[in-house]
Amino acid sequence: MREAKALLFEISKKGRRGYSLPACDVPEKPLGDLLPSQMRREEPLELPELSEVEVIRHYTALSRRNFGVDTGFYPLGSCTMKYNPKINEETASLPGFAFLHPLQDESTLQGALALCYYAEEGLKEVTGMDRISLQPVAGAHGELTGLMVIQAYHRSRGEGERNKVIVPDSAHGTNPATATMAGYEVVQIPSDERGLVDVEALKVALGPDTAALMLTNPNTLGLFEEDILEIARLVHEAGGLLYYDGANLNAIMGFARPGDMGFDVVHLNLHKTFATPHGGGGPGSGAVGVKDRVAPFLPVPTVEKEGDRFYMDFDRPRSIGKVHSFYGNFGVVIKAYTYLRMMGAEGLKQASADAVLNANYLMHRLKKTYHLGHDRHCKHEFVLSARAQAKQGAGAGDIAKSLLDYGYHPPTVYFPLIVEEALMVEPTETEGKETLDGFADALEKIAAVIEEDPEKIRMSPYRTPVGRLDEVKAVKDLKIRWKAK
Ligand SMILES: *Cc1c(COP(=O)(O)O)cnc(C)c1O
């Protein structure tokens, strides 16, 4: 592979061009006639001068140094890219959507508003909730919106003193972080030996100061919270609300709905389960669904339908207000809607079934080689522990690096925190048996090498453009500017 080693600025050659235009056959206007001098720079802007192929090769080489779902298996548990069908790119770039301006008159936005309206209808059906806001633009943003809505609900009932949010120790890190951001005190409860919420500990934690319980079901161990109906009853009896972290709904879509389990508020990551590529930090959509009694507090505007007309309703006096400019990341909503319509009810159910089947297949193969903390039927993901390998001299982080040499993106490592040397694997529904077997073969091989010569794995990767990075330096001493000499 030819590597892009230099910056475009460094390979620039004075006078080289990526275009050739015919000679100008009209009188050229002096620049000063086009732009007043006080608006012009004094020195010409220093831009790299290159031919077209140089630019193409540079960017293509850069893109090949990256790892994505289009280049290989990507089993990054919890946060993985699921299926990103290419038709989504086509629908999202239809000129009628792509060239809209959010300040256009509502009468000219009818198609976009209809799409939001019907996306909400679809997501209501999938989650069993009564209303959905498409405004939040990330999972964590959806969590914050959801907790603000819960806070507004309690205050409206004169119960604003409820100041605690209960979070299990298996929770995604964003849950306690969000609760803190929303001004709550976080009460952490342990998991029991099944890897599920310890109901007795929950009973102790619940009280008149409970605002909400935040729960992921299946949890981050990939395990379904079997006692969910009992848990919901207990939280409601204590006057609290149930918050569902639905970032990874691909575990249960079409089979079970948070609304039916007793949840009052849920967020979805449309950029995970509903098919938007989300590498590199965006764009996302953390749509928030609520039950009727909490719906008046949703952000403004909501999208409503009256006869054949769609409109944005800003007249919602109990709303928490706006949580993002305009209507959120509309492009992601287009993709989610396309996905919903492409899959249909049966297709969504099949996607969950396949995701769960793939995870269980891999789990049963790999538990022979790696320690499996909770040997139970899993949902869309499972968590192995590399503690035996770590004792032999190479742990979860080393195994992750070594997998890169086999052409696989590593699983999530060292999360959830309750599993020592965690390797969290989410194969997703789109992978075939050969891919899963290839990945399992690689992990088995790595374990065998660790038994013989752990140093070899500790020094990996050997085949990537860069080896082990100084991750702290990369964060603290990031160089993103180029300066002309
Ligand atoms: C990804 C994820 C989140 C956070 O979503 P962001 O869009 O990254 O903010 C929250 N909870 C769970 C379980 C997740 O997997």
Question: Confidence class of residue 320 from pLDDT cuts 50, 70 and 90?
Answer: very high
Contact 111, 243 (CB under 8 A): no
Predicted local confidence at residue 405, as pLDDT: 96
Tell which atom from ligand 1 comes closest to the C-alpha of 271: 7
Predicted local confidence at residue 313, as pLDDT: 96
Q: Which two tokens stand for residue 326?
A: 């305009």
Q: Give CA–CA dist 482/456, Å, rounded.
A: 37
Q: Which of 76, 169, 172 should be mutated for ligand 1, with most atoms under 8 A from CB?
A: 172
Q: Which two tokens stand for residue 66?
A: 């990256």
Question: Confidence class of residue 474 from pLDDT cuts 50, 70 and 90?
Answer: confident
Q: Give CA–CA dist 405/468, Å, rounded.
A: 12
Whether the predicted pLDDT of 399 surpasses 60? yes
Contact 427, 358 (CB under 8 A): yes
Q: Which of 169, 174, 249, 268 should be mutated for ligand 1, with most atoms under 8 A from CB?
A: 174
- Spatial neighbors of 457 by CB under 8 A, at least 6 apart, are 394, 398, 399, 401, 402, 446, 449, 450
Query: Collapsing DSSP states into helix, strand and coil, what is residue 133?
Result: strand
Q: Which of 76, 78, 324 should be mutated for ligand 1, with most atoms under 8 A from CB?
A: 78
Q: Computed over its alpha carbons, how large is the radius of gyration of the chain?
A: 26
Residue bearing the bigger pLDDT, 87 or 480? 87
pLDDT tens for 246-280 read: 998 999 999 999 999 999 999 999 999 998 887 66
Whether the bond into 416 is cis, omega within 30 of 0:
yes
Q: What are phi and psi of 16, to 5 degrees?
A: -75, 145
Number of other CB atoms surrounding residue 51 within 10 Å: 13
- Spatial neighbors of 227 by CB under 8 A, at least 6 apart, are 196, 197, 199
Identical fold for domains 86-343 and 351-473, yes or no, is no
Classify burial at 269, counting beta carbons within 10 Å of its beta carbon; exposed 0-12, middle 13-18, buried 19 or more: buried
Q: Give CA–CA dist 431/362, Å, rounded.
A: 11
Predicted local confidence at residue 34, as pLDDT: 82
351-473 has CATH 3.90.1150.10 classification: yes
Classify burial at 443, counting beta carbons within 10 Å of its beta carbon; exposed 0-12, middle 13-18, buried 19 or more: buried
Give 475 Cα–ligand 1 centroid separation in angstroms: 21
Domain residue extents for the chain: 8-63, 86-343, 351-473
Contact 138, 267 (CB under 8 A): no
pLDDT tens for 134-148 read: 999 999 999 999 999
- Mean pLDDT on 309-313: 96
Predicted local confidence at residue 5, as pLDDT: 66
Q: Would you say the C-alpha torsion 300, 305, 311, 315 has a positive or negative sign? A: negative
pLDDT tens for 401-414 read: 999 999 999 999 99
Contact 244, 258 (CB under 8 A): yes
Question: Confidence class of residue 281 from pLDDT cuts 50, 70 and 90?
Answer: low
Q: Which two tokens stand for residue 373?
A: 């903390």
Question: Confidence class of residue 485 from pLDDT cuts 50, 70 and 90?
Answer: low
Predicted local confidence at residue 216, as pLDDT: 93
- Spatial neighbors of 238 by CB under 8 A, at least 6 apart, are 206, 207, 208, 210
Predicted local confidence at residue 279, as pLDDT: 66
pLDDT tens for 345-386 read: 999 999 999 999 999 999 999 999 999 988 999 999 999 999
CA angle 167, 169, 175 (to 5 degrees): 45
pTM exceeds 0.95: no
Contact 136, 321 (CB under 8 A): no
Ligand 1 lining (C-beta closer than 6 Å):
78-79, 138-140, 172, 174, 216, 245, 247-248, 269, 284, 286
Query: Strand 241-246 relative to strand 210-215: parallel, antiparallel, unpaired?
Result: parallel
Tell which atom from ligand 1 comes closest to the C-alpha of 171: 13
Q: Which of 245, 271, 380 should be mutated for ligand 1, with most atoms under 8 A from CB?
A: 245
Which amino acid residue places its CA nearest to atom 5 of ligand 1? 139
Residue 281 has what DSSP assignment? G
Give 35 Cα–ligand 1 centroid separation in angstroms: 47
Contact 450, 389 (CB under 8 A): yes
Q: Give CA–CA dist 455/230, Å, rounded.
A: 49
pLDDT tens for 17-37 read: 998 899 989 988 877 778 888
- Spatial neighbors of 126 by CB under 8 A, at least 6 apart, are 249, 253, 254, 257, 340, 348
Q: Give CA–CA dist 183/187, Å, rounded.
A: 13
Tell which atom from ligand 1 comes closest to the C-alpha of 272: 1
Which amino acid residue places its CA nearest to atom 1 of ligand 1? 79
Arithmetic mean of pLDDT over the chain: 93
CATH no. of 86-343: 3.40.640.10
Predicted local confidence at residue 278, as pLDDT: 77
